[in-house]
């Protein structure tokens, strides 16, 4: 299934960048891009004999005790293997959600213009989260109707 950690991380990073480029061939809004890349990451789990799930429920994500969801989780029989959060700009709640799940791999897919590294340094002191920074992602303003 997984050869070694660094090879797996590099492979996932490469595949997500390829998926991003394919999706950008279509003219999409931020929401459409997020949903499309989320679906593709879920589908990618099959190539590793894992089960991909969208919007995986997570308890007590916020300080007020409210729950939330992880964008994508890859499951094996024994539990989570990888978790993914997908954001157009850095959000502390995304890092917190990634750190709450006991998984071998945690990926934060960021595609906005703001640098996520200051948040990573603040919340992920053990360097558990792998940041996949998608570059040159631009969305046009809403299309004008004809």
Q: What is the pLDDT of residues 80-131, one digit of tens each?
A: 999 999 998 888 888 888 998 899 999 999 987 788 888 888 988 898 999 9
State residue 89's pLDDT score.
Answer: 82
142: in domain: no
Average per-residue pLDDT for the chain: 83
Mean pLDDT of 34-50: 93
The CA distances from residue 31 to 3, 35, 65, 103, 129, in Å, are 34, 6, 27, 26, 23
Kindly report the CATH number assigned to the domain that includes residue 78. Answer: 3.40.1350
**Residue-wise pLDDT tens digits, 63-75:** 666 778 899 999 9
In a domain, 146, yes or no: no
Q: pLDDT grade, residue 1 (50/70/90)?
A: very low
Which residues span the domain enclosing 113? 5-133
The answer to the question of residue 128 being in a domain is yes
Confidence at residue 60, expressed as pLDDT on a 0 to 100 scale: 67
Cβ atoms within 10 A of the Cβ of 7, count? 10
In a domain, 86, yes or no: yes
Structural domains counted in the chain: 1
pLDDT at 119 (0 to 100):
86
65 inside domain:
yes
In a domain? residue 138: no
């Amino acid at each position: 299934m997984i050869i070694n950690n660094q090879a797996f991380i590099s492979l996932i990073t490469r595949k997500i960048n390829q998926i991003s480029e394919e999706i950008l061939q279509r003219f999409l809004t931020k929401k459409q891009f997020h949903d499309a890349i989320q679906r593709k990451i879920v589908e990618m789990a099959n190539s590793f004999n894992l089960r991909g799930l969208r919007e995986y429920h997570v308890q007590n994500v916020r300080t007020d005790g409210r729950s939330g969801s992880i964008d994508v989780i890859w499951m094996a029989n024994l539990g989570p293997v990888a978790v993914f959060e997908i954001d157009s700009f850095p959000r502390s709640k995304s890092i917190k959600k990634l750190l709450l799940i006991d998984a071998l791999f945690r990926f934060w897919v960021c595609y906005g213009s703001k640098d996520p590294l200051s948040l990573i340094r603040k919340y992920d002191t053990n360097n558990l989260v792998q940041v996949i920074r998608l570059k040159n992602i631009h969305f046009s303003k809403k299309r004008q109707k004809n």
